[in-house]
Structure 1
Amino acid sequence: MPQYRLEFTAALEIFAQICDAMAARGFTRPVLVGGAAVEFYSMGFITTGDFDLCSPAQDALEEEFQRYGFVRPSGPGRATRGWVHPDLGLGFEVVGDMPLDGAVTRDHIALVEDFENGPPFAIISVEDLIADRMGQYASGTAREMLAQAKTLLRLHPEADMDYLERRVRHETGGDFGADDVLDRQN
């Protein structure tokens, strides 16, 4: 079992409880995307300061945030669109209705059912996460994302390379493919 930071583990446990509460209310579980998904799949090798989520039921999700003690930071220099749990120091933000603007189907959203014996939570697939990192890299605004994509693939050699090829091509406008993510020694 990977050794995650204590605050990350605590945040995932609360996230799983919120996912369970949303499911109990008849909503789909919010999906973990972005940096926290990278931290999860990299087994703590790459760390983050926030949890980006996708949910079509943002109002209900924000009600659950409040029930679980999250607050919106306020005051000078504290403007944010997200929520912070005072004990965790990590922000949670709803970044969209669907992961990657709907390019990800429910078939490619993983359900993590065995984390710290808690309820299950939903997370974007590692292939879609790698494709997202490559899309950011291809945009020219986040050159460090290539290293994240390579690290994720190195840690997950079981990734579906055919699906990864399609997703990387889609996210990069055809400029890159799965071969560009493979770690090759020159």
Structure 2
Amino acid sequence: MIHLNELKEKFQDLKYLSKHERMIQVCGLLTTYFQQDNIQPIIVGGLSVELYTRNNYTTYDIDLISDGRDKFDKLLTNELGFNKEGRNWYHQELEISIEIPDNYLEGNKEKVIEMKLENGLHIYVIGVEDLIIHRLESAIVSHPDNPEWTDDYEWAERMFKIHQNDPEIMDIDYLLDAAGKAHVDHIIKKWIS
């Protein structure tokens, strides 16, 4: 657990880190702080792709699925110097944007991965299987006849290829089952063969 004054001090030190490391540390600090409220923010969207592609993908904002939007709002705007702009909170000095698009995870909570950071903090990230499926669904919506023309398809395929032989990260049986329910399993089967 981390107290508010310590959280504020640690936020001051973030400005010396790279953009990627700043975003990860912000997530780690918020995750630790909100443990006291039994709130578990889960990283989704571009930052999760960045993590699963080992920083080959680049994003400029943090998307979190989390309960307690009102508590986030109070903490970010009243205590940590973020400005609220629509659905986003933006910190000028740190150049960090945070959005909580939903409080419901579209995917399996059991597949969420806890990642330990070098400084002892931890973060939660959507399972790579669900992330791949979401990217493929987006690719099909964007280009129904040629989903492989999209960036979403490319990143889904990259994540699959990076993690397909790592059973600690990717459960192929779950991926195929969930992909079947989302009607994108034909793509996964093509990658496997």
The reply to whether TM is greater than 0.5 is yes
Alignment correspondent of 2:6: none
Instruction: Quote how far apart the aligned CAs of 1:23 are.
Output: 0.8
Aligned-pair identity (%): 23
Instruction: Quote how far apart the aligned CAs of 1:28 are.
Output: 2.4
Q: Secondary structure at the match of 1:112?
A: strand
Alignment correspondent of 1:19: 31
Do the aligned residues in 1 keep the contact of 2:90 with 2:96 (CA within 8 Å)? yes
The 5 A counterparts of 1:21-170 are: 21-24=33-36, 26-66=37-77, 67-73=79-85, 80-100=86-106, 104-113=107-116, 115-140=117-142, 143-157=150-164, 158=166, 159-170=170-181
CA distance in 2, matches of 1:183, 1:68: 46
Q: TM-score, normalised by structure 2?
A: 0.78
Do the aligned residues in 1 keep the contact of 2:64 with 2:100 (CA within 8 Å)? yes
Larger relative contact order (CA 8 Å, sep ≥ 6): 1
CA distance in 1, matches of 2:89, 2:192: 37
Instruction: Quote how far apart the aligned CAs of 1:60 are.
Output: 1.3
Structure with more helix by fraction: 2
Gaps of 5+ in 2: 1-16
Change (3 A) 1:175 1:130: closer
Length, aligned pairs only:
167
Q: For 1:49-97, what per-residue CA distance to the aligned partner results, in whole angstroms no more than 9, with x for missing partners? A: 1111111221112223233332224xxxxxx420112223231100111
Report the structure number with the largest CA radius of gyration.
Answer: 2
Do the aligned residues in 2 keep the contact of 1:13 with 1:118 (CA within 8 Å)? no
Structure 2 letter corresponding to 1:86:
Q
Q: CA RMSD in A?
A: 2.1
Do the aligned residues in 2 keep the contact of 1:161 with 1:178 (CA within 8 Å)? no
> Is 30-39 or 141-150 further displaced after alignment?
141-150
Alignment correspondent of 1:77: none
